């Protein structure tokens, strides 16, 4: 079995029965089930959703993206062994703890395989909610240039790079292009303030002003739960992104839920605690891969400058990274997943064949 065989790089070509186009993102592909299959599974499996709720199969890949590009390795390695399973395992762990601690549900209904979720359709809140406990990354770069206002929050003078912030900061940005909101440019991923959200809550898909308060509570409680759990493992939860949406349960109640992924190396920065106390930053997340790319290429401005996107895409397309680079990334993902969940990450010998067999045998979804 070669390393390339262990990687699920193409995840949008499975023979899952669907009557809609497969949506393929940077990492996940979504197969919307037929209305008949959705209704059948809801009844057979007893999912707590409306009887006519649309369901989907979400298949995660082992592709790795950074700086809005997909990166490849030598020898046909089109991804990172174990990455997808590690991301799903970590999210599954946190979602379970969120529910056990009374925070909120997620969009996940079933986990047939380490690379697969069965999810219910959610109406997303159009906000990417970033929580920051330390000043680093883009916030530090802006702060070091004199910027002090972040999403309507004024930061004090005298902060140092990678320092813990005086309090947990919530710095939201738009999810997608939203038009017609006063004071909010119609571009993707633009920073917004709490006042922007309060004044235009319906434009961001919130049902009520009370749900804006609820969203902020879930942000802080979710962050604190993960941060405290990681601290027990001597790991530092630096910052993370949460996403939310609405679903309807079997009783007809609308619920604000967590969606996408939470507390993973793709959506968060996690630092090694002992190293941080010694004045070093050892990344336990994709940020380490980003830094490696910045150091690997002679002109890092290509990766940071959005005006050079054509050059960046050519860089990713034409430069296969050394195998040892991708295996180091694999170790980062699988090690932190094993540390968080207490279980080793399952790396399939033939993930596509396994997924097809399970979805056919246990769910009747393969033609």
266: closest CA among 231, 297, 290? Answer: 290
SS3 326: helix
CB distance 238 to 133 below 8 Å:
yes
CB distance 281 to 162 below 8 Å:
yes
Give pLDDT tens digits for 140-172: 999 999 999 999 899 999 999 999 999 999 999
* CA pair distance 136, 179, nearest whole angstrom: 30
Q: What is the mean pLDDT of residues 75-95?
A: 95
Q: Residue 46's pLDDT is what?
A: 96
* CA pair distance 195, 133, nearest whole angstrom: 21
Q: What is the mean pLDDT of residues 274-285?
A: 95
Integer CA distances (angstroms), 264 to 95, 173, 334, in order: 11, 19, 11
Compute how many other C-beta atoms are within 10 angstroms of the C-beta atom of residue 194: 14
Phi, psi of 276 (to 5 degrees): -60, -40
Q: What is the Rg, in whole angstroms, of the alpha carbon atoms belonging to the chain? A: 21
Give, rounded to a whole angstrom, the gap between the first and last alpha carbons of the chain: 28
**Residue pointed to by tokens 């799903």:** 88
90 pLDDT band, cuts 50/70/90, is: very high
Residues in the chain, overall count: 367
* CA pair distance 38, 310, nearest whole angstrom: 41
Instruction: Look up the pTM and report it.
Output: 0.94
Give pLDDT tens digits for 175-209: 999 999 998 999 888 999 999 999 999 999 999 99
- As beta bridge partners, residue 24 has 29
Q: Residue 1's pLDDT is what?
A: 55
Q: What percent of the chain has pLDDT over 90?
A: 92
CB distance 94 to 263 below 8 Å:
yes
Integer CA distances (angstroms), 77 to 5, 238, 324, 340, 349, in order: 8, 30, 11, 27, 14
Which residues neighbour 148 within 8 Å (Cβ) at sequence distance 6 or greater? 154, 155, 157
Q: What is the mean pLDDT of residues 283-288?
A: 92
358 pLDDT band, cuts 50/70/90, is: very high
Ranges assigned E (strand) in the chain? 23-24, 28-32, 55-60, 64-66, 69-71, 108-113, 116-120, 123-124, 127-134, 149-150, 153-154, 164-170, 173-174, 235-248, 254-259, 268-272
Which residues neighbour 230 within 8 Å (Cβ) at sequence distance 6 or greater? 236, 237, 270, 340
Q: What is the mean pLDDT of residues 240-265?
A: 95
Q: How many CA atoms within 13 Å lie on the side-chain side of 17? A: 12
CB distance 81 to 61 below 8 Å:
no
Q: Residue 306's pLDDT is what?
A: 87
Q: Residue 5's pLDDT is what?
A: 74
**Residue pointed to by tokens 């939860």:** 237
CB distance 27 to 84 below 8 Å:
yes
* CA pair distance 352, 360, nearest whole angstrom: 12
CA dihedral 283, 288, 294, 296 (to 10 degrees): 120
Which residues neighbour 138 within 8 Å (Cβ) at sequence distance 6 or greater? none
Give pLDDT tens digits for 21-72: 999 998 999 999 999 999 999 999 999 999 999 999 999 999 999 999 999 9
pLDDT surpasses 80 at 4: no
Least confident window among 1-5, 112-116, 199-203, 228-232? 1-5
CA dihedral 208, 210, 215, 216 (to 10 degrees): 140
Q: What percent of the chain has pLDDT over 70?
A: 99
Q: Residue 6's pLDDT is what?
A: 81
* CA pair distance 216, 351, nearest whole angstrom: 38
Give pLDDT tens digits for 291-348: 999 999 999 999 999 899 999 999 999 999 999 999 999 999 999 999 999 999 988 8
């Amino acid at each position: 079995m070669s390393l390339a065989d262990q990687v699920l790089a193409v995840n949008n070509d499975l023979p899952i029965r669907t009557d809609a186009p497969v949506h393929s993102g940077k990492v996940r592909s979504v197969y919307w089930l037929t209305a008949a299959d959705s209704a059948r599974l809801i009844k057979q499996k007893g999912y707590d959703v409306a009887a006519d709720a649309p369901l989907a199969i979400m298949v995660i890949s082992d592709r790795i993206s950074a700086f809005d590009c997909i990166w490849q390795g030598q020898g046909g390695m089109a991804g990172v062994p174990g990455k997808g399973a590690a991301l799903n395992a970590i999210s599954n762990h946190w979602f379970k703890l969120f529910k056990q601690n009374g925070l909120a549900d997620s969009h996940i209904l079933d986990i047939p395989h380490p690379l697969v979720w069965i999810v219910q359709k959610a109406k997303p809140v159009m906000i990417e909610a970033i929580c920051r406990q330390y000043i680093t990354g883009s916030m530090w770069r802006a702060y070091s240039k004199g910027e002090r206002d972040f999403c309507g929050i004024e930061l004090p003078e005298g902060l140092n790079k990678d320092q813990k912030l005086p309090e947990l900061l919530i710095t939201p940005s738009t999810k997608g292009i939203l038009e017609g909101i006063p004071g909010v440019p119609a571009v993707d991923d633009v920073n917004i303030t709490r006042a922007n959200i309060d004044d235009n809550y319906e434009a961001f898909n919130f049902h009520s002003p009370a749900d804006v308060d609820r969203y902020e509570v879930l942000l802080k409680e979710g962050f604190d739960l993960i941060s405290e759990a990681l601290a027990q493992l001597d790991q530092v939860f630096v910052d993370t992104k949460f996403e939310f949406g609405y679903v309807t349960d079997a009783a007809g109640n609308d619920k604000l839920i967590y969606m996408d992924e939470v507390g993973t190396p793709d959506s968060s920065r996690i630092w090694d605690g002992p190293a941080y106390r010694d004045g070093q930053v050892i990344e336990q997340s994709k940020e380490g891969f980003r830094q490696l790319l910045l150091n690997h290429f002679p002109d890092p401005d290509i990766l940071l400058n959005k005006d050079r996107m054509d050059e960046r895409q050519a860089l990713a397309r034409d430069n296969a990274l050394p195998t040892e680079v991708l295996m180091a990334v694999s170790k980062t993902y699988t090690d932190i997943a094993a540390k968080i969940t207490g279980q080793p990450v399952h790396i399939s010998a033939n993930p596509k064949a396994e997924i097809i067999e399970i979805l056919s045998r246990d769910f009747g979804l393969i033609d």
